[in-house]
Amino acid sequence: MIHYVALPLELVFEGFETYRPDLVETTVGGVTMLIERTSPVEGRIVRVISPNPQDYLNPQIAPGTAVRFVPQWG
Q: How confident is the model at residue 40 (pLDDT cuts 50, 70, 90)?
A: confident
Domain boundaries, the chain: 22-68
Question: pLDDT class for 57, splitting at 50, 70, 90?
Answer: very high
Whether 28 contacts 61, CB under 8 Å:
yes
- How many CB atoms are located within 10 Å of the residue 44 CB? 14
Mean pLDDT of 9-32: 84
Position 33 scores a pLDDT of 93
Going by pLDDT thresholds of 50, 70 and 90, the confidence category of residue 74 is low
DSSP-derived secondary structure for 15-56: TTTT----EEEEEETTEEEEEEESSSSEEEEEEEE-S-GGGG
CA–CA gap between residue 12 and residue 7 (Å, rounded): 7
